[in-house]
Amino acid sequence: MISGVEIHKKKQFIDERGKIMRMLRTDDEEFRKFGEIYFSYIYPNAIKAWHKHKLNTLNYAAVFGKIKLVLFDDRKKSPTFGQTQEIFLSDEDYFTVTIPPMIWNGFKAIQDQPAIIANCSDHVHDENKIERKDYNDISIGYDWKIKYK
């Protein structure tokens, strides 16, 4: 696991009418402060990568569908420098992923339907405090193809 990244299992309240998916509360250990929440809608097999926030701590949760979240650590002083991590999120196995600033991340819907990922960040999005790279950037070198064993 990449240094500083945390996974937090979340409660779902399910009955015959549907379910409630609790994402983040002010008394959760991973809560820092509220900046904004937004939802990213991902078309099937579309890749939204790469981006790195300089200031924001991200809290991602899949609220619909299945998503492959990929993280890459290029922080030179990090014990996990140069490592890549894949995390599979879904609305069935529900949890949040907390990502500290300066971690490259991207995601892809991995079914034949769209997916929605929510992000509750501790700062308001500032385009001047984010870096972006193409999904196939060679400096990261990640292959987004589905891997078969």
Ranges of each domain in the chain: 6-132
- Residues 24, 27, 28, 30: is their CA dihedral positive or negative? positive
Angstrom distance (rounded) from CA 136 to CA 104 = 13
* CATH no., domain 6-132: 2.60.120.10
User: End-to-end alpha-carbon separation of the chain, Å?
Assistant: 22
- Residues 103, 106, 110, 114: is their CA dihedral positive or negative? positive
4-43 tens-digit pLDDT: 999 999 989 999 999 999 999 999 999 999 999 999 999 9
Q: Model's pTM, two decimal places?
A: 0.92
Cβ within 8 Å of residue 138, ≥6 positions away:
none
Half-sphere exposure of 65 (CA within 13 A, CB side): 22
Q: What averages of pLDDT result for each successive group of 10 residues across the chain (149 residues)?
A: 95 92 92 95 95 97 96 97 96 95 97 95 95 96 79
